Structure 1
Amino acid sequence: MTSTLKKLLLGEQGLLVIFAIALVLVSVFVPNFLSTRNVIGLLQAVVTVGLVACSMMLCLATRDFDLSVGSTVAFTGMMAVMVTNATGSIPLGILGAIAAGAAVGMVNGIIIAKIGINALITTLATMQLVRGFGLIISDGRAVGVKEPAFYNIALSNVFGIPTPIIVLAVAFLVFGIVLNRTVFGRNTLAIGGNPDAARLAGVKVVRTRVTIFAIQGVMAAIAGVLLASRITSGQPNAATGLELSAISACVLGGVSLAGGRATMTGVMVGVMILGIAENVMNLLNIQAFYQYVVRGVILLFAVLLDNLRTSSGIRR
């Protein structure tokens, strides 16, 4: 394989080509895939993964990752419902969820970036802690919504487009601008490329990493609120395995596990590939047991792609 062909296949353009081919194939061979109802359902199904993947992209770009996001999504969704039920105010419920998510992210960031504990151990611990807190405060049961207007967060639409899809589109746009057009984004990639060099260049490495984890917590909270509204309750066991889906989407989209490389377009494509794979399996009535196998294969494929990109020296 020539270097030019390898760059094309492993780079962002190659990912777009693969995505386009896959889209054409499923459109032709899978019944009802292109129906308006299915497309809207597909986009709504990827909202949670997509929102979390936006901030996971920044974590991975700095050589970090966060395994606690699934637990944080469940916990903050419950917080939104419980605060709303207690106060009768949906805005207060949303703010409570965001505050809880930011707090979890800050704790992760301080322990990892400031104290220097490994991200795997830290976020594995907070994953268990946050999930445990959610189960304790809910007594292990779903928390029902007392304010019917809370459902409108996920059920409302603008010009026929569901609000959660609009929120995801705005998140993609904002994070794309942050990554490519701001000093913060350039510093994020610099830290992942070489933390010591970034520090010597004047980048506030610790502060930036803590900020990224706080952003991760906030995005998990937004995803948690939308998920709780969509499923009409706060579920302590919701979003199990979400962290692996978000990491898979990012790595599929060209974000390097070694840090220093990320593109928002690639992450968007990665999110859609995961969403299409799950949607097609549901349309074809493939049993859930086999869906786990497919997710595992996709994750392995994503890691293989990252390894090939790294060994080939493809940066963007």
Structure 2
Amino acid sequence: LGILWVLVERTSIGQEIQAVGGNPAAARLAGINVDRIKTLGFVISGMCASLTGILLASRLGSGTTSAADSYLLTAFAAVFLGSATLRDGEFHVLGTLVGALIIAFGFNGLNIFGAPTFSQYVFQGAILIIAVGLSSLGRSLAES
């Protein structure tokens, strides 16, 4: 996670990736090779996905296409929670880390209290609704 943060925030390639993600036409006018940056983004994403697949397969001892389905909602919740908490509507590495920590602490608390497994999904949904609601309220108060 730290390596990705350094790549995105502290290197010229990371700045170009952010520029292409923000506005490809403006990035092209600024002299950035948009097709090369998109390809690089897909390569980095594919490498991270393949590393994750290898780690998951080694943990499970087998490989199936539906092995990570239970992690999908948690990953989305962490990313969207992170984008709603620190910089409103912007996806970034630090926000994802904060979102993942909030979700992990919540799950740990539910396990400590002996809550049933389905309550983790209810917790994820509730925390996302609260985060988006507070973010929208903060945005409307800032505009006033």
TM-score w.r.t. length of structure 2:
0.76
The structure with more radius of gyration = 1
2:65 corresponds to:
236
Are the aligned partners of 1:249 and 1:274 in contact in 2 as well (CA < 8 Å)?
yes
Are the aligned partners of 1:254 and 1:306 in contact in 2 as well (CA < 8 Å)?
no
2:113 corresponds to:
284
How far does the alpha carbon of each residue in 1:187-207 deviate from its partner, in whole angstroms, 9 at most, with x for none? 222223333212211222233
Return closer, same or farther for 1:191/1:310 CA change in 2, 3 Å cut-off: farther
Mapping of 1:1-316 within 5 angstroms? 172-254=1-83, 261-304=90-133, 307=136
Are the aligned partners of 1:251 and 1:306 in contact in 2 as well (CA < 8 Å)?
no
Instruction: Indicate the structure whose relative CO is greater, using CA pairs within 8 Å and at least 6 residues apart.
Output: 1
How far does the alpha carbon of each residue in 1:179-233 deviate from its partner, in whole angstroms, 9 at most, with x for none? 1111121122222333321221122223323322332222122112212222233
SS, match of residue 66 in structure 2: coil
TM-score w.r.t. length of structure 1:
0.38
Moved more, 187-196 or 220-229: 187-196
Q: Distance in 1 between matches of 2:64 and 2:106?
A: 25
Are the aligned partners of 1:251 and 1:257 in contact in 2 as well (CA < 8 Å)?
no
Q: Distance in 2 between matches of 1:267 and 1:186?
A: 18
State the superposition RMSD in angstroms.
2.8
Q: How many residues are matched?
A: 140
Return closer, same or farther for 1:240/1:196 CA change in 2, 3 Å cut-off: same
Structure 1 stretches lacking a partner, 5+ long: 1-171
